[in-house]
A and B are shown apart, each in its own frame.
Chain A
Amino acid sequence: AQSVTQPDIHITVSEGASLELRCNYSYGATPYLFWYVQSPGQGLQLLLKYFSGDTLVQGIKGFEAEFKRSQSSFNLRKPSVHWSDAAEYFCAVGADKLIFGTGTRLQVFP
């Protein structure tokens, strides 16, 4: 069955600290992988996507993610978090229809 797991429901970091949000997937074929960010009461904004090629993907707002096929993972990283990064982050897999993980809520302390 196709699924996405985000093991961390809630993460708190200090501003300026590094960040890694975990995502594991189960997908029958070569996956298309996405990370989206959602601010409260808002829709989703695409941070980055992986379709093929270089397994390290650069996105907007200084985010990057690395596709590791052997680990079925697509973790999101940022070297230095800003207070404005506080939001809900969703990992998703799929081609036409997307399957979303349950999300990770990021809190940033000054």
Chain B
Amino acid sequence: GAVVSQHPSWVICKSGTSVKIECRSLDFQATTMFWYRQFPKQSLMLMATSNEGSKATYEQGVEKDKFLINHASLTLSTLTVTSAHPEDSSFYICSARKMENYNSPLHFGNGTRLTVT
């Protein structure tokens, strides 16, 4: 089945530093990937839509200068949390769709737990 890999699975960083999270579609091409954020015991909130070869589309309230998204190839999207602060600590999950087809479901990575100290 379709596999989406996220790396790292967890990261601890100091306040003020930047952290990059990778999302790869291992056995399919994805022109669109999605980045979600999940706070403890809460649901997933869509942060942005990552489009290969173009700028990401951010949801309302998400700072695009803080959460930099790059979708440089059909199998890789990266999320960089810049100048991280403790309130950025969260579980970040990416997802990808096999084709530009609504009948193809989203496949999710295993998430990245970010802790900012």
Binding site for B on A (CB under 8 A): 32, 34, 36, 41-46, 49, 51, 90, 95-103
The answer to whether residues A36 and B102 also contact, given A96-B32, A100-B44 and a CB cut-off of 8 A, is no
Binding site for A on B (CB under 8 A): 4, 6, 32, 34, 42-46, 49, 91, 93, 95, 102-103, 105-111, 113
Complex interface: chain B residues within 8 A of A43 (CB): 4, 6, 93, 108-111
23 contacts between A and B (CB under 8 A): A34-B106, A41-B91, A41-B113, A42-B111, A43-B4, A43-B6, A43-B108, A44-B93, A44-B95, A44-B108, A46-B106, A46-B107, A51-B102, A51-B103, A90-B43, A90-B44, A95-B102, A96-B49, A97-B34, A98-B44, A98-B46, A99-B46, A102-B42
Which partner residue on chain A sits nearest B1 by CB separation? A46
Residue in B42, B43, B91, B107 whose Cβ sees the most chain A Cβ within 10 Å: B43
Q: Is the interface of B mostly helix, strand, loop or mixed?
A: strand
Nearest-neighbour CB distance to chain A for B68, whole angstroms, equals 20
Nearest-neighbour CB distance to chain B for A10, whole angstroms, equals 10
How far apart are the CA atoms of A73 and B50 in the complex, in Å? 30
Number of A-B contacts (CB under 8 A): 50
Which partner residue on chain A sits nearest B112 by CB separation? A43
Complex interface: chain B residues within 8 A of A46 (CB): 105-107
Complex interface: chain A residues within 8 A of B4 (CB): 43
How far apart are the CA atoms of A96 and B62 in the complex, in Å? 19
